[in-house]
Structure 1
Amino acid sequence: MADKREYRTEELAREAGITVRTLRFYRERGLLPPPRREGRIAWYDDHHLARLRTIAALLERGHTLNGIAELAEAFDHGRDVADLLGVDAPTEEEPVRLTPEELAARFEGQVTTENLAAALDLGYLAADGDDIVHISRRLLDVSAALVREGIPLAEILAAGARVREHADALAELFTELVLRHATEEDLPRLRPLARSVVEAEVSLALDRRLRKLS
């Protein structure tokens, strides 16, 4: 892997498209991790640049500086992965830890600030120090495979948001069904049955769609 590039304050501000004053303001607010110091010179790297671009994208999507600062503080202090991703219940999904370079390599140059912000909004990604954590290895692998098939990542993320709505509705339906006849403690044990029903119905729906297209 190539050596990590480093930037002086003025260079980093220029690469990020902001002023030095704004950069220093972000640093004072705790939005950026500390730079490497060499005497009186502050050296920043590509992780700082990625953070600045993410801040810009989140601001464009309506997030406040206070909210971004709270997230940055939590990320930089190494909170538990479950806390970072908002997972407070047992899950069958396996989180994946990646460097920014590894994430970019999986998606063939489509990790733009807009796509990164969309993935953060969906809860697919969180930053943990210098690393990025993806909430689900299965979702990560499928998304990367679809990109390799020529489907833009932005459209995959938009579709993911729509799927999330239907998945939430299905989860609510299953939960209500179980709670009418069992207890909350039975939900984890019966969860695989719900997943099997959903997988079978999606498979049958795809069969019907393919027959219509043929």
Structure 2
Amino acid sequence: MAELARLAGITERTLRFYRERKLIPPPRREGRIAWYDDHHLARLRTIAALLERGHTLNGIAELAEAFDHGRDVADLLGMGAPTEEEPVRLTPEELAARFEGEATPENLAAAMDLGYVGADGDEIVHISSRLLDVTSALVREGIPLADILAAGRRVREHADALADLFADLVLRHGPEENLHRLRPLARSVVEAEVSLALDRRLRKRD
């Protein structure tokens, strides 16, 4: 405990307080010896960074609880299911920096429920770099993250319906292998239709 506190730049008393508040996971026990590792140090440095950014200990505790009970990465990524999306690994500190003031426990829980993020040790894994970049850009434009996630849930419903439609079309006229090979065509159709739909929406406003 003394070594961990020294490396983290805090007192042992503060470390005990963090343990009592469950801000860090318990150490690994071997008899009467408690072992801390790099994951504990990373969590303490994240706590320090969040405190510097103005987060309260209560908020950090809620964030830590949501994080520790988040979805497993294997579940998040579908245990090796084929995907064209590139996952992104983030520390909680990096996540807070991406969404200044918006990385609340409620938003994190909503993102986990949607399958956007999962936990892997002391890291957060976002399932798609494209979705992460778009979400960050929308937040920078002043749109609350909670509203973006709510819209994301509605988009998910429509996207599932479109995927079912395309899969049924392909499987009616060929083997299942065609579904993976032809998926770029489905993406192109959806992107074009959304672009045209936005054109129609903008013309209505003019």
TM-score (norm 1): 0.71
SS across alignment from 2:17: helix
Matched, 1:53 2:46: no
Counterpart in the other structure of 1:34: 27
- Which runs of structure 2 are paired with 1:76-155 in the superposition (5 Å)? 81=73, 83-87=74-78, 88-155=80-147
Q: 1-side partners of 2:189 and 2:107: how far apart? A: 32
> Quick one: distance in 2 between partners of 1:206 and 1:41?
56
Q: Deviations for 1:95-131, whole angstroms, at most 9, x for unmatched residues?
A: 0011111111111121000000000101100111111
Say whether residues 1:9 and 2:16 are aligned partners.
yes
Corresponding position: 1:208 with 2:200:
yes
Identity %: 63
Residues 40 and 194 of structure 1: is their aligned pair in 2 closer, same or farther, counting only changes over 3 Å?
closer
Q: Distance in 2 between matches of 1:127 and 1:192?
A: 29
Whether the 8 Å contact between 2:107 and 2:145 is mirrored in structure 1 is yes
Q: 1:96 to 1:11 in 2, by over 3 A?
A: closer
Query: Mapping of 1:182-201 within 5 angstroms?
Result: 182-201=174-193
Distance 2:61 2:130 in 1: 29
Unaligned runs of 5+ in 1: 15-22, 59-64, 76-80
- Change in Cα spacing, 1:109 to 1:51, as seen in structure 2 (3 Å) is closer
| Aligned mates of 2:200, 2:178 — CA distance in 1 | 33
Q: Work out whether residues 96 and 103 of structure 2, in 8 Å CA contact, stay in contact via their aligned partners in 1.
A: yes
Do residues 181 (structure 1) and 180 (structure 2) align?
no
TM-score w.r.t. the length of structure 2 is: 0.73
- Confirm or deny: 8 A CA contact 1:5 1:45 kept in the other structure: no
- Aligned partners of 1:205, 1:191: CA distance in 2, in Å? 21
Which one-letter code corresponds to 2:172 in the other structure?
R
